[in-house]
A and B are shown apart, each in its own frame.
Chain A
C-alpha cells in the first residue's frame, strides 16, 4: 500500500501557521478526506477540519490542494504521486479558525439574505409521467454552499463586502426559475457596487465549482437582466 505525504497547514489564530508533513498509508483508491481523517484518528487529535457527507453534497470539506480549491471528499489520492507532498490549506476569504477550518457563516448569512431555497424543480422529470398524486419532481439545487468559488475569486480578495459568486448565482437561479420571490429586492441586491457589477470575469469561480453551478455565466446573465430592466425603466417600457 502506498504511503502519501500530506503537508497540512497547521496553527491557530494568533500564531503564525506552518506546514507540517504527515505520512499516511492508504490505497490509491482512497480520497483526500480519508487521508486527513486518518491523520486525525491515528496521529494528531487536535487537527481541525470540516466534513460530513463524503460525497460532494454537504459542501463542508472545501480546502486548497496544491493551491487549488477542491472538495477533499472527491479528490482521489490516485491523482497524486506518493513521492510528491500533497499540500492542503484552508479556504481563503473566510475567517480562519485554525488548521483547515474556516468560519463559513458570512457566506451562509448572505445566502439566507437572498432567500435562496435549496429545493428546485427537477428538470429530469419535465417530460415524464409523474406518479399519481405528485405534481412535480423536485431536487436539491446544484450549489452545495461549499465556498470554493469565494476562495478562488480575486474580487473577494479586494472587496470584503462583495456578494460573491455563489450568492450572485443564487440570485440568478431565483430569477430564472419563477418562485415566490420578490424581484425588486433581488434586483436591488444584485444591482449594487458590491453586487453583480463588481465581478470582472476572472472565471475562477466556474473553474473550481465542483457542482456544475457555473457562477461566472450566471453573473453574466444576471447583468444582462439588470441592463434590460434598466432600459425598460428608462424608456418607459412599462410592465
Chain B
C-alpha cells in the first residue's frame, strides 16, 4: 500500500495515531511545530486514569479509561509507575458519595475496593489522619514525554517520518480535497509543501486553528488548568477526593515530587497561558486538606496547559461539564475531502483515539485493515533517538 497520511501534532494523540497508521501499513509523516509533547501532552497531570474520577458523572469516559489503562499496562511498561490510587473522603459530604461511587465503578468495570482507614493511613502516612473512608482503584502515573516518545519510536521503527520543529502554516487543495500541507521548518525558516492522501489534525487545543486553515469549523474549547509540583513525594499512590470532579482534588506522585491539580477555565489562545494567582492559592489550600504540610518541601514548579475539550452541547463557562470523551470528525460532511480531526479525550485514551481516527482514515480510502495496537508492545522511548 502506498497511501501517505500526514499527522499534525506530536502530542499523545498524534503520536498514537502515527503508531497505529504505521502498524496498518500506511506511509506516515508527523509534523510538529515544537519538541515532541511540547503542547498539552507534555505538561499535564500525569495520571493514568482508572476511570474512577469519571465513574459517577461521565460513565462513557470512565469505561474508556479503565479499558485503555489496562491496555497501556501491557504495551507501555517503560513510561508508567503502577502503584494504584485511593479515593478518600475528607468530610461527611464526600462520605455520602461512597456507595454511589462504588456502584458506579462496578457499573463501569473499574475494580474498586474499600480499604479500612487504618490501612490507608499505614500505606500513606502523610495523608490527613481524619479521612473518613478510602477506596482503592487501579490508577497509575505516566511520564508524558516518554509516553509520546514510546509511540513515536515504534512508529519510526515501522517507517514513519517524524518532523519536529516543523509548523503547518497552510493547506494545499485540489478542488475541495486536501492534497497536503505547507510547512515551515523553524530551523531554516524555509517553507515547502508535503503532499498526502489524507491529513489528520491531532493538534489538541490548536485543532480549531488548524481546521480553520482548511476552512472548516471544529468545536474545540481550549480549557486550561493549573498544577503545582512540590519538593517532596508525600504519597506513593495517586490520591483523589471521593466526590464529583472538582478543582484541586487529585495529588499525583511522580519520581520525587507530588503534583496537585487541577483547575479549569476557558482560554482564547493556548500558546501562552498566564497563571491566575487565585488558582495557585486554591490548589495549595486544597492540597493542605489532603496532605497537611504539603509545601513543606518547597514549591518546585507551577504550570498550566489547555485541554482540547469538544464543545458539543451547551458549554459551561469553566468547561467541567464537558464530557472528557473524544470525537473524530470526518470533514467530508463539511464539504472538505481528505481531512480528519481527532480531538478531545485524554492522554490515557490516546490509543483508543488513534484507533478511531485510523478506522475513519481506512473507511475513507475503502480499506479494511484491522487495528493491532492493543497487542503490539511499544519500543523503549530511547529508540526514538
| Residues of A that sit less than 8 Å from B by CB | 12, 27, 29-31, 34, 37-38, 41-42, 45-46, 48, 50-60, 73-74, 97-98, 101, 104-105, 108-109, 111-112, 117-119, 122, 124-125, 128-132, 134, 137-142, 144, 211-212
B303 proximal to A (CB < 8 A): yes
B37 proximal to A (CB < 8 A): yes
- B233 with A118: CB separation less than 8 A: no
**A168 vs B383: C-alpha distance when bound (angstroms):** 20
- B300 with A55: CB separation less than 8 A: yes
**A55 vs B384: C-alpha distance when bound (angstroms):** 22
Complex A-B, nearest 10 residue pairs according to Cβ-Cβ distance, in ascending order: A52-B42, A54-B303, A58-B145, A108-B385, A105-B385, A41-B272, A55-B229, A112-B382, A55-B301, A52-B145
Which residue from B77, B82, B383 sits with its C-beta under 8 Å from A112?
A: B383
Which residue from B136, B165, B236, B259 sits with its C-beta under 8 Å from A55?
A: B259
- Sample (11) of A-B pairs whose CB atoms are under 8 Å apart: A42-B272, A52-B43, A56-B257, A57-B143, A57-B145, A60-B35, A129-B123, A131-B237, A139-B254, A140-B143, A140-B254
Residues of A within 8 A of B38 (CB): 50-52
Of B184-192, B205-213, B308-316, B334-342, which stretch is located at the interface?
Answer: B184-192
B338 to chain A, nearest CB (A): 27
A129 to chain B, nearest CB (A): 5
A34 to chain B, nearest CB (A): 8
- B83 with A58: CB separation less than 8 A: no
Residues of A within 8 A of B186 (CB): 45-46, 48
- B382 with A51: CB separation less than 8 A: no
Which residue from B46, B275, B301, B385 sits with its C-beta under 8 Å from A73?
A: B301
B119 proximal to A (CB < 8 A): yes
A138 touching B277 in the complex, CB below 8 Å, given contacts A46-B189, A52-B43, A56-B229? no
Which residue from B146, B188, B382 sits with its C-beta under 8 Å from A58?
A: B146
Q: List 20 other contacts, CB 8 Å, given A57-B229, A58-B144, A117-B78.
A: A42-B272, A52-B144, A53-B42, A53-B145, A54-B303, A55-B229, A55-B257, A58-B143, A58-B146, A108-B382, A112-B382, A112-B383, A118-B78, A118-B79, A119-B80, A132-B113, A139-B233, A139-B254, A140-B143, A144-B255
Q: Which secondary structure dominates where chain A touches chain B?
A: loop
- B301 with A124: CB separation less than 8 A: no
- A98 with B187: CB separation less than 8 A: yes
Give chain B interface residues in 353-385, CB to chain A under 8 Å: 380, 382-385
- A137 with B236: CB separation less than 8 A: yes
**A122 vs B42: C-alpha distance when bound (angstroms):** 24
**A140 vs B80: C-alpha distance when bound (angstroms):** 8
- A12 with B188: CB separation less than 8 A: yes
A51 to chain B, nearest CB (A): 6
**A134 vs B255: C-alpha distance when bound (angstroms):** 19
**A182 vs B64: C-alpha distance when bound (angstroms):** 40
Of the candidates A34, A46, A58, the one having the most CB atoms from chain B within 10 angstroms of its own CB is: A58
A55 touching B146 in the complex, CB below 8 Å, given contacts A122-B83, A131-B84? no
Residues of B within 8 A of A59 (CB): 145
A29 touching B277 in the complex, CB below 8 Å, given contacts A55-B229, A112-B383, A211-B255? yes
Residues of B within 8 A of A118 (CB): 78-79, 143, 146
Residues of B within 8 A of A141 (CB): 255
- A52 with B36: CB separation less than 8 A: yes
**A97 vs B271: C-alpha distance when bound (angstroms):** 23
**A56 vs B143: C-alpha distance when bound (angstroms):** 11
- B187 with A48: CB separation less than 8 A: yes
- B382 with A60: CB separation less than 8 A: no
Residues of B within 8 A of A74 (CB): 300-301
